[in-house]
Amino acid sequence: DTAVSQTPKYLVTQMGNDKSIKCEQNLGHDTMYWYKQDSKKFLKIMFSYNNKELIINETVPNRFSPKSPDKAHLNLHINSLELGDSAVYFCASSQGGRSDTQYFGPGTRLTVL
Amino acid sequence: QQQVKQSPQSLIVQKGGISIINCAYENTAFDYFPWYQQFPGKGPALLIAIRPDVSEKKEGRFTISFNKSAKQFSLHIMDSQPGDSATYFCAASYNFNKFYFGSGTKLNVKP
């Protein structure tokens, strides 16, 4: 059973489009995250939710909007896609509390043409 | 400003050798220092982690050395194997799981 799953695995789209990436975890964790990994492999946190509540919102354009319908799901919606949004997006989850282990999903490779 | 600085960017080691990756941080509030391993096409996976109250942690062939006064920590992979070839990330966190990652080290272990 996959602990943290993401769909789709690959996403190719045109500039200006709106797209969503879905994430689900079956670990019973309270906290979920979105990370962006750029072409140089640099991994940067974008958002963090704890029990459906936003707790970390880094300096991310407001074209990016996370949505957590329940604590097992954290989706990422991106409006008006730009070339610079091309990256691999990782969802992760952790039990919560201080400095806990994060479990990452397999990633979604987004290519904006 | 990058909170965690990692070096080297890439590393080539012969099979059986020791791989050493270094990280440095500035923020003394960090209280958890994990290392993640990432294979191509996969998400990062926790390899080993340490808290600042110990100077060393060993799990199998993997050892973290931690120097609190120097604000540095390193990963040592003993008897490196081709299957260890991957990208390794150090990270540091505090305050409700906000993690800062290093820039990654691509390790290539030659057979």
End-to-end CA distance of chain A: 34
The partner residue sitting opposite A43, judged by closest CB among B41, B94, B101, is B101
Residue A41 pLDDT level (bands cut at 50, 70, 90): confident
Smallest CA–CA distance, residue B79 to chain A, in Å, is: 26
A14 to A45, A98, B38: CA distances (angstroms)? 24, 40, 29
Contact residues on chain B for A31, CB-CB shorter than 8 A: 97
| Three-state DSSP state, A73 | strand
What is the pLDDT at residue A13?
97
Contact residues on chain B for A48, CB-CB shorter than 8 A: 96-98
Residues in chain B where the model's pLDDT stays below 70: 1, 95-97
**pLDDT higher than threshold 60 for residue A98:** no
